[in-house]
Amino acid sequence: MIEENTTMVADLTHVNKHFAGNGREGLSIGTLIPRGKSAFQTMVEHLVGTEELAYALTDFPDTVEALWKTMVARDIEAVKLAAQSPYLYFISWEDSSTQNYSPAQYDAYIGSEIGEWCRILKEHGKHYSQHACGHVAALVGRMRDHGVHSVESISPPPTGNMSIREARNVVGSSMGIIGGIEPTQFLRLSEAELKPYVKTVIQDGAGGPFVLANSDSCPPGVSISKFELVAEIARNTRP
């Protein structure tokens, strides 16, 4: 099996070059593991698919569990190596969403792995941010409980299913929130309409660490002037 015979080796040449360069004063976030997402999420998105994985968990649970445990073991090796790098913050592109699995499956297969990542990073004074761009209303509290430092790309409807205010009410001041400008709103609203919308998002994120951003990806039609407007609003709005 490929996973069983994979060897993890840390090569920090490019990382060290980055930190020695002109961008060292900024916020640098490292990708935590080579596959970019947890073992189960990798199965969902790349190896098996949502429907087929649901059937496989019923028909061949031992096979799925064996593969998952082997993949998790490789991920843990990668996290231990990553923790030795100069990065203070790490991310994985989980694309977390209950459109792909139940909250119980999230706890069993994803939260359990990510919780171990967070434990290892915490021992080294480092933190993990989780990319979650889908339906996360039932997951944000779980992320907090598993030790996630911040959640990135929370998106209100229609892209996601949770507003920034709802997310803040769930996690309180204990977890950072990144996102808030829903992609279709960013595209659809005029600049006059965008201004009060963005102010509301900033107010809704108050009460804990918050980074204003477009949620997940930015639609191709959003103008540079809208980004400039959002930056101006952010500089002049106090939560």
Token pair 């108050």 is found at: 206
Whose CA is closest to 217, among 238, 196, 186, 191? 186
Residue 216 has a pLDDT of 83
The answer on pLDDT for 27 being more than 90 is no
Q: Distance between CA 215 and CA 189 in Å, rounded?
A: 15
In the chain, beta strands by DSSP E: 29-31, 89-92, 127-131, 150-154, 176-181, 210-214
Single pTM value for the model: 0.93
Residue 24 has a pLDDT of 67
The answer on pLDDT for 149 being more than 70 is yes
Domain boundaries, given as residue ranges, for the chain: 28-140, 155-239
pLDDT in tens, 70-118: 999 999 999 999 999 999 999 999 999 999 999 999 999 999 999 999 9
Residue 2 has a pLDDT of 86
Report residue 157 as tokens: 């409807």
Per-residue pLDDT band at 123 (split at 50, 70, 90): very high
